[in-house]
DNA sequence: TATTGTTATACTCTATAACTATA
DNA sequence: TATAGTTATAGAGTATAACAATA
């Protein structure tokens, strides 16, 4: 289990580095498939809101994401990927071959088994 | 798969924080069950040797690890845990309940299945 | 000449505290 | 008064380059 997680993490880091992203930047970018508020991102990444501010600012400077005013609450902002961000994220996922290559070693049945077992592990976490 | 790794990583970070260790420090400490050279550790953690120097220096300052001269090569040093390091590592592993709690949700047969599937995923990585 | 490990240093990531503006 | 997000800033982690000792 440790070896598996270690390999996964390492593959993720390498894919991020390949696109000049930090792990946290790649992670935020990956979560913007649907738009999100800053504090929502902070909670999902288990980090402080001020950290998200900086990450989003850098993504925005690279034109990968955009802040937009929330229609419901004028304090809050909705973050979404730009088309460039979508493109880079897609490239990142392609580079991040780990899951793909790993899955290719298992039959469809085995993949389903694995997903079911991992799902059970995560129950009520 | 992503959710699983995310939960694992988060649990590891929390367990490390609980004992005033960074993730990297906990990771080095965990690998010292058998003694190792500096460059060996650097390779295992996918990081620079100068980084390991600092980590080991901090572990040594906390009396959790010790540098020892290598009998074979006077340039190199062997690092090993002190008894205090053994004790802290054992406490860390106890705190790091993730694997334990997760495994408890599966039967012995299912655990074997999972280990076999994960093993297959890692083949020739 | 190459290798092991260290030092000095700069850069990045992250968190804390104080702040603005809304609610 | 509480909340969303920002700013300024300090701390920790990591890497690069130059170096010492040894092979």
- Percent of chain B exceeding pLDDT 90 equals 82
User: What are the DSSP calls for A71-125, one per residue?
Assistant: SS-TT-EEEEE-HHHHHHHHHHHHH--HHHHHHHTS-HHHHHHHHHHHHHHTTT-
In A52-111, the residues whose Cβ lies within 8 Å of chain B are: 99, 102-103, 105-106, 110
Residue whose CA lies closest to nucleotide D3 C1': A75
Least confident of A71-80, A97-106, B18-27, B45-54: A97-106
Residue whose CA lies closest to nucleotide C14 C1': A51
In order of A3, B37, B58, B94, B115, the CA distances from B108 in angstroms are 20, 37, 40, 21, 11
Helix (H) and strand (E) counts in chain B: 7, 3
Whether pTM > 0.85 for this model: the answer is yes
- Note the Cα A68 to chain centre separation in Å: 20
Count CB-CB contacts under 10 A for residue B16.
21
Of B10, B113, B123, Cβ closest to residue A46? B10
Which residues of chain B neighbour A33 with C-beta distances below 8 Å? none
Below-50 pLDDT ranges, chain B: none
Collapsing DSSP states into helix, strand and coil, what is residue A36?
strand
Residue among A18, A39, A16 nearest A29 (CA):
A16
Model pLDDT for residues A26-65, shown as the tens digit of each residue: 999 999 999 999 999 999 999 999 999 999 999 999 999 9
């Amino acid at each position: 289990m440790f070896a598996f997680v270690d390999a996964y993490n390492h593959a993720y880091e390498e894919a991020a580095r390949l696109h000049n992203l930090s792990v946290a930047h790649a992670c935020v970018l990956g979560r913007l498939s649907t738009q999100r508020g800053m504090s929502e991102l902070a909670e999902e990444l288990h980090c402080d809101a001020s950290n998200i501010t900086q990450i989003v600012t850098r993504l925005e400077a690279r034109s990968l994401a955009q802040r937009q005013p929330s229609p419901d609450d004028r304090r809050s902002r909705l973050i979404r990927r730009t088309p460039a961000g979508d493109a880079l994220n897609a490239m990142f996922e392609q580079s991040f071959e780990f899951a793909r290559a790993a899955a290719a070693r298992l039959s469809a049945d085995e993949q389903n088994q694995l997903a079911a077992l991992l799902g059970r592990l995560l129950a009520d976490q």
